[in-house]
Amino acid sequence: MTQRLAVLGSPIAHSRSPLLHGAAASVLGLDWTYERIEATEATLPGILAALGPEWVGLSLTMPLKRSVLPLVPEHAPLVDRLGLANTVRLGARPRLANTDVGGIEAVLGARAAVRRAIVLGGGATAASALEALRRLGVEDRVVAARRPDVAAVELAGLADRFAPLDEVDLRAAELVVSTLPGTAEAAVRVPDRVDGTPLLDVAYDPWPTALGARWAAAGGRLLHGLDMLIEQALLQVRIFTDSDPDVPMRQEEAVRGAMRAAVGR
């Protein structure tokens, strides 16, 4: 029986996840299909209830990363710590996981020997970014959000300080992570020079984003959002194939290479 997987969210037509997971299936010799499904917080319960035994797993994007929690009873510890999930392993005992943290951690791992980082945005991906920075030993984690008072509640315990998005001084950062949608990028004041400071922009369509282009023009290093997407998808493949999520698969480098090729990286 062909196994089925999908990425759910709204909007979802831009998602590159089918390319990534299709590439993984080819390398691993798996008989599975991976599709896009438009889903909102209102329609998600019905979609989950209608899935048959051929369904192996789901990837979740906005706006579903928090609303899925009460719909699946078993959670990985990280899901409960952050209050959000991006992965559902289906089957006899459906379970939620979060691979965004590991994806961000993998991209920043060689660059995060820094003391101070600024995260732009206050949503679900910001929470994963803050947790990744904590794991990497970044001591001073600042969140810049359009509504810092709201972000301070939703991200309580994950950041050290909160600031308005249009007032934060990015010259104070040794590393910046943007989790902003394109509509919010204009509020960010990019300094005239940010020589060598890395910016991980988790957005990837279009690339570079307007913020990324301004950052590069100011002399900063731009880290591609697709790299984070690839690394978190690789962790999802471990989960979907019942591999140990903390241990690389035997063919992992081949899978990573195929994923990168599939999206032009």
Convert the pLDDT of each residue in 39-77 to its tens digit. 999 999 999 999 999 999 999 999 999 999 999 999 999
CATH of 3-98+229-262 among 2.170.150.20, 3.40.50.300, 3.40.50.10860, 3.20.20.70: 3.40.50.10860
CA distance 239 to 241: 5
CA 216 to chain CA centroid, Å, is 22
Query: By C-alpha distance, which of 101, 132, 36 is closest to 236?
Result: 101
Say whether 200 sits in a helix, a strand or coil: strand
Q: 231 or 184, which is more confident?
A: 231
Over range 214-242, report the average pLDDT.
Answer: 96
CATH 3.40.50.720 domain extents, the chain: 102-223
CATH 3.40.50.10860 domain extents, the chain: 3-98+229-262
Active site (catalytic) residues: 65
What confidence score (pLDDT) does residue 243 get?
Answer: 92
Q: Which fold has domain 102-223?
A: Rossmann fold (3.40.50)
User: Which alpha helices (DSSP H) does 88-242 contain, by range?
Assistant: 100-108, 124-135, 148-154, 210-217, 225-240
Over range 241-256, report the average pLDDT.
Answer: 94
Positions of E strands within the chain: 3-9, 32-38, 55-60, 74-75, 87-89, 95-97, 116-120, 140-145, 161-164, 175-178, 198-201, 221-223
What confidence score (pLDDT) does residue 111 get?
Answer: 61
User: Which alpha helices (DSSP H) does 17-145 contain, by range?
Assistant: 17-28, 44-49, 77-82, 100-108, 124-135
CA distance 205 to 163: 27
pLDDT band at 112 (very low <50, low <70, confident <90, very high): low
pLDDT at 181 over 90: no
pLDDT band at 110 (very low <50, low <70, confident <90, very high): low
Q: pTM of the predicted model, to two decimals?
A: 0.94
pLDDT band at 185 (very low <50, low <70, confident <90, very high): confident
Over range 114-135, report the average pLDDT.
Answer: 95
Is 123 in contact with 179 (CB distance < 8 Å)? yes
What confidence score (pLDDT) does residue 206 get?
Answer: 87
Question: Mean pLDDT of all residues in the chain?
Answer: 94
Query: By C-alpha distance, which of 228, 219, 226, 229 is closest to 198?
Result: 219
Query: By C-alpha distance, which of 136, 201, 132 is closest to 170?
Result: 201
Convert the pLDDT of each residue in 192-201 to its tens digit. 999 999 999 9
Is 47 in contact with 231 (CB distance < 8 Å)? no
Say whether 229 sits in a helix, a strand or coil: helix
